[in-house]
């Protein structure tokens, strides 16, 4: 689905975002991208949604080089990818259901489709009872669920979640990972970036560990029992 071939990103000509990264992600996978702050996790995710282009090397999506993808094709790419940004990015003056509805309207769904699909989605992520609340009235875990519901409302093939457990307590973090695992079970490829190794420690999944922009390890489970 996605391939990184010798990808480097430098910011302002000298700051290392990524350094010679090779990576292949298959459709249907669930993988964690871990590493300390500044190791390149967000840079890696942003390349996939063509928010950035590599300084060197190539990122391909289903065989297409993303750097040569015409600007007018970028919205089409992004419709296939749900993105939960590091800052969650919910619209503060819109209610929970409006935040999710907005994402549907943006790609041209009718009001009727919105009325049908949004409540189902909120129900699926356990936040239907908060549909009329504003984001600021929700707990951190609830806000993440809304952001995930919104990212998935147009049924993308891939979900990217950047530090979705960043501000959550350990129990809520585990809940969010379970939510993402259920999403993956239903066929969506999931990539989650996190610096929090304790939440990843007991999950038997592929873990790509970044260090200063390089892939330091790529193993099944955090300690590479495989």
Ligand X SMILES: Nc1ncnc2c1ncn2[C@@H]1O[C@H](COP(=O)(O)OP(=O)(O)O)[C@@H](O)[C@H]1O
Residues in contact with ligand X by the rule CB under 6 A: 11-12, 15, 17, 35, 37-43
**Could you tell which of ligand X, Mg ion, none binds residue 11, using a CB distance below 5 to 8 A set by kind?**
ligand X
Cα(185)–Cα(167) distance, integer angstroms? 25
Alpha carbon distance, N-terminus to C-terminus of the chain? 23
Q: How far is the CB of 162 from Mg ion (least distance, A)?
A: 6
Q: How far is the CB of 185 from ligand X (least distance, A)?
A: 27
Query: Which of 17/85 has CB closer to ligand X?
Result: 17
Query: Which of 42/188 has CB closer to Mg ion?
Result: 42
Query: Which of 41/145 has CB closer to ligand X?
Result: 41
Q: How far is the CB of 189 from ligand X (least distance, A)?
A: 20
Q: How far is the CB of 124 from Mg ion (least distance, A)?
A: 27
- Within residues 20-79, the interface with Mg ion by CB under 5 A covers 41-42
Which of 217, 134, 142 shows the shortest CA–CA distance to 179?
A: 142
Query: Which of 141/164 has CB closer to Mg ion?
Result: 164
Query: Which of 43/99 has CB closer to ligand X?
Result: 43
Q: How far is the CB of 38 from ligand X (least distance, A)?
A: 4
Q: By CB under 5 A, name the binding residues for Mg ion.
A: 41-42
């Amino acid at each position: 689905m996605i391939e990184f071939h010798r990808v480097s990103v430098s910011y302002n000509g000298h700051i290392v975002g990524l350094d010679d990264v090779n990576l292949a992600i298959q459709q249907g996978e669930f993988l964690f991208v871990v590493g300390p702050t500044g190791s390149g996790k967000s840079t890696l995710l942003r390349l996939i949604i063509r928010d950035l282009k590599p300084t060197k090397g190539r990122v391909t999506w289903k065989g297409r080089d993303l750097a040569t993808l015409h600007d007018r094709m970028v919205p089409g790419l992004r419709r296939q990818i749900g993105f939960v940004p590091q800052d969650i990015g919910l619209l503060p003056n819109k209610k929970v259901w409006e935040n999710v509805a907005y994402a549907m309207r943006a790609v041209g769904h009718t009001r009727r489709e919105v009325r049908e699909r949004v409540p189902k989605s909120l129900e699926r992520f356990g936040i239907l009872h908060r549909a009329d609340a504003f984001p600021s009235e929700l707990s951190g875990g609830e806000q993440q669920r809304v952001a995930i519901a919104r990212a998935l409302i147009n049924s993308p093939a891939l979900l990217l979640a950047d530090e979705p457990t960043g501000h959550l307590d350990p129990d809520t973090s585990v809940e969010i990972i379970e939510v993402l695992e259920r999403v993956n079970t239903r066929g969506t490829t999931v990539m989650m970036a996190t610096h929090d190794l304790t939440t990843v420690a007991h999950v038997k999944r592929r873990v790509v560990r970044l260090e200063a922009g390089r892939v330091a390890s790529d193993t099944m489970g955090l300690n590479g029992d495989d």
